[in-house]
Amino acid sequence: MSNFYEQVGGEKFFADLVSQFYAVVATDPILRPMYPENDLQGAAQRLQWFLEQYWGGPDTYQENRGHPRLRMRHAQFAINTAARDAWLNAMRIAVDGVEINEELKTQLWSYCEMAANSMVNQPD
């Protein structure tokens, strides 16, 4: 039984997803100021590595960045429900823009919602 990474077509899928996600981040009034001014490319690379690893692809994230500990890495950003919703909005657009079957889409989206909720670290 192949894993999610293989079922969606591997690296190309994640590159597409992440590039669509960052196209929205680049113009989002809440998100854009939170990301490095001159390095959206680097941020995109890190998210792509992470998602590939999470879904059963190569461990490139771990090799370059160490253990994910995502909640800790996000502690430096003030993430309230508005920031979470902006992140999820960008990811929804990206997920809607890729071609995979509905079952895989639902699986991906459920994970994104759960993960985004777990990153909230500020009261509204």
Asked whether 73 and 118 are in contact (CB, 8 A), the reply is: no
Nearer to ligand HEM, 4 or 35 (CB): 35
Contacts of 107 by beta carbon, 8 Å cutoff, 6+ apart: 4
- 115 lines the binding site for ligand HEM (CB under 6 A): yes
User: Of these, 2, 27, 29, 36, which contacts ligand HEM (CB under 6 A)?
Assistant: 36
Q: Rule CB under 6 A: is residue 5 a binding residue for ligand HEM?
A: no
Binding mask 66-105 for ligand HEM (x = CB under 6 A): ----x--xx--x-x---xx--x------------------
Out of 16, 23, 28, 65, point to the residue binding ligand HEM (CB under 6 A): 65
Cβ atoms of residues 64 and 49 within 8 Å: yes
Is 99 exposed, middle or buried, given 0-12, 13-18 or 19+ CB atoms closer than 10 A?
Answer: exposed
Phi, psi of 94 (to 5 degrees): -65, -45
Q: Spell out where the chain has E strands.
A: none
Q: Which residues bind ligand HEM (CB under 6 A)?
A: 31, 34-36, 42-43, 46-47, 50, 65, 70, 73-74, 77, 79, 83-84, 87, 115-116, 119
